[in-house]
Structure 1
């Protein structure tokens, strides 16, 4: 078989194209838990990989409980921030009110390795 310039070009493109998409997390301070659950479930179902290469705080940390751990890469530049869940301040007159139910829900998603790390480091508090 003779390799033409077109075949060579196609082979080179295929060789450098990743098989799965990758979500790069570099500056994610979190947000609404339900939105993160939906986002990470889509990533899990598409078998995509996640690279945490910066800030991953609050709801962002749900990635550890939804995406398989073998699909997550945490670089030395990563900063992971956990805290207790709280109600949207828009509904609590601007006051941070913790949600025991929300915190329990968050913890239910984390794998045992993450739960153990949280417990060894003082548990979830209102601050990161």
Structure 2
């Protein structure tokens, strides 16, 4: 059984994103990730809105799904941007984590080719967190102006 905590929803709704409507952009300033469902819903709305996504801090785990949903030409990164990837996992009702290999494969296939290639060069999605930042990140996504 999967659960969404109030804390996760609060992070998602407030501290996770800062929106600047005048510039028609969504700014990711800090996201530790969380349940996949709320991120999918949010990024579908962002895609439909036409807004640009500025990654301006850590975007970890489920947050990286933005790369699969929002068109790449509408994503840019700042020098503070960090993307964190790991294999999919779920939590049972006792708080124990377990691997979700089929979900990991589906997520990996949904990422853009250059991101998949970067992950593959580092051994693929495992329980270890892979951090994409700096020059490697700027080679895939443009710096925000």
Task: Give the alignment's TM-score, normalised by structure 1.
Answer: 0.78
Classify the secondary structure of the residue corresponding to 1:94: coil
Alignment match, 2:45:
42
* RMSD over aligned Cα atoms: 1.8
Shift of 1:21: 2.1
Give the length in aligned residue pairs.
110
Measure, in 1, the Cα distance between the counterparts of 2:95 and 2:128.
Answer: 16
Alignment match, 1:77:
80
Shift of 1:105: 2.3
Deviation string 1:60-114 (CA, Å, 9 cap, x unpaired) is 00111110111001111111100001012xx252222111122122113211111
Alignment match, 2:109:
108
Deviation string 1:103-128 (CA, Å, 9 cap, x unpaired) is 12211321111111100122111021
Task: Give the alignment's TM-score, normalised by structure 2.
Answer: 0.70
Measure, in 2, the Cα distance between the counterparts of 1:24 and 1:97.
Answer: 31
Shift of 1:35: 1.5
Larger strand proportion of the pair:
2
- In structure 1, stretches of 5+ residues that fail to align are 1-16
* Higher gyration radius (CA): 1
Matched, 1:51 2:54: yes
